[in-house]
Structure 1
Amino acid sequence: MDDNAQFLAAARDLLEREGVSVVGVASSTVQALRQADALRPEVALIDVELGDESGFDLARRLADRPDPVRVVLISTYSEDDLDELVQTSPAVGFLSKRDVSRRAIDALLAGR
């Protein structure tokens, strides 16, 4: 989930070219929660800054569901800037937006 339409399109295109099945994209918390209910994704990439909304709050809401969604937080900020917030979140990890790739996501999910 990201509130930047250009990033959503670019990330979707990149991940699909790398063989990732992108089942949906969302630009608001409401859209993301609806799509999580309807599509039941294995993983959600969530921007930490969503305009007036918080990616950290959305990550908690997705993780607290009966059928939790694994979350990877993303941002243009560096991991060092957000380390404490990422560590206390239910996310499996963090990626800089420039590092989003299937390989990077797979490494986070594998615990590396």
Structure 2
Amino acid sequence: MVPSAQRLRCFIVDDNVDFLDAGRELLEREGITVVGVASTSAAAMRGVAELEPDVMLVDIELGEENGFELAERVYHHGGPTPPPVILISARAEQDIADMVAASSAVGFLAKSALSSGAIGALLAAEDYGNPLSEHRER
């Protein structure tokens, strides 16, 4: 079972400090615990190892870095049970739908649609709480 929004531990990766602050405030107001934030892939990988979040929100455009590449690194090197990655962006989903589908991310959320309910729905759709789920076997 997916942790309830009250207990969900989230890590946000975005190179926009204003969004990191706004995203943290919004999600915490909705009951999600934001355990950490990062602006670079290296800091994000350290955060995953140290904080073991339940889910990561990763901006697809991280300055000179790439959120799709970070999602792959987390999937393959994020520990024995890496957290699911939800890609986020200010861009429209239809502009990147094929890339999201080809990635190891569980899905995509437009930054304007970010909410605890939207995160919970993506995680529930992927059945991340089931230890026998193919997504949990890395």
- TM class by shorter chain equals over 0.9
2:35 is the counterpart of 1:23: yes
| Unmatched runs of 5 consecutive residues or more in structure 2 | 1-12, 127-138
Distance 1:101 1:32 in 2: 21
Query: Alignment RMSD, CA only?
Result: 1.0
Percent sequence identity over aligned pairs: 52
Q: CA deviation at 1:68?
A: 1.4
User: What is the alpha-carbon distance in structure 2 between the residues aligned to residue 111 and residue 104 of structure 1?
Assistant: 11
TM-score for both structures, normalised by structure 1: 0.97
SS in 1 for 2:88: strand
Match of 2:97 in 1: 83
Runs of 4+ in 1 over 3 A off after TM superposition: none
Quick one: which of 92, 97, 101 aligns to 2:111? Answer: 97
Higher strand share: 2
Measured after TM superposition, the shift of residue 35 of structure 1 is 0.5
Amino acid at match of 2:55: V
Q: Which of 25, 30, 51 is residue 13 of structure 1 equivalent to?
A: 25
Structure with more of its chain in helix, by fraction: 1
1:40-59 mapped onto 2 (5 Å cutoff): 40-59=52-71
Please give the TM-score of this superposition, normalised by the length of structure 2: 0.79
Identify which of structures 1 and 2 has the higher relative contact order when contacts are C-alpha pairs closer than 8 Å and 6+ apart.
2
The structure whose Rg is larger is 2
Separation in structure 2 between the aligned mates of residue 70 and residue 46 of structure 1, nearest angstrom: 10
- The alpha-carbon deviation at position 67 of structure 1 amounts to 2.5
List per-residue Cα deviations over 1:44-96 (Å, max 9, x = no partner): 00000001000000000001123212000000111100011000001110000
Letter in 2 for 1:43: V
1:32 correspondence with 2:44: yes
1:82 match: secondary structure: helix
Q: How many residues align structurally?
A: 112
